[in-house]
Amino acid sequence: MRGKRVKIREIKPDPKYGNVLLAKLINNVMKRGKKTVAQSIVYKALDQVAEVSKKDPIKVFEEAMRNLVPQVEVRSRRVGGANYQVPMPVRGERQNALAFRWLIGAARAKKGQPMAQKLATVLFEASQGLGDAMKKRDDVHRMAEANKAFAHFARFAK
């Protein structure tokens, strides 16, 4: 291994709900260091989710995250001059990172609405097991399933 091991910083819980996972979502929504803007977007989205679902917005958010986290993904592995897509389990931190990426990507892809409204829609759909973010997760799982034949190469990979 080259260099030093990166020390993972501890993220403080968000100020309104006291949830660390929500604080990470806010950090992922944030652009150019404008955290207050990102917080207002996420909190407005959660308020809209609460109106639509008539449930606790944090419960809906956690349900959406539970539905979105991938269990397996394919990683490229070079064996004997050929590249294989090898299915591998996803580590915990990466599961959340991918889920956030898909969630925010699906929200930003929608057009013609404020970001808070788009994020609320995507969050609610994901909690129901629907929408573009869920489609992305299903595509990743389908890809891993299709390449199951190369799973025996996984023991060599890091």
The structure tokens listed for 9 are 């910083």
Asked if the model's pLDDT at residue 136 lies above 90, the reply is yes
* Category of 63 on φ-ψ map: left (φ > 0), alpha (ψ -120 to 50) or beta: alpha
CB 77 within 8 A of CB 149: no
| CATH number for the domain harbouring residue 65 | 1.10.455.10
Read off φ and ψ for residue 142, nearest 5 degrees. -65, -40
Is 12 a member of any domain?
no
Is 13 a member of any domain?
no
Asked if the model's pLDDT at residue 135 lies above 60, the reply is yes
Q: What is the pLDDT of residue 45?
A: 96
Is 139 a member of any domain?
yes
Number of domains, the chain: 1
**Domain that residue 41 falls in:** 20-156
In the three-class reduction of DSSP (H, G, I as helix; E, B as strand; rest coil), residue 7 is classed as coil
Is 74 a member of any domain?
yes
The CA distance from 1 to 3, in Å, is: 7
Is 7 a member of any domain?
no
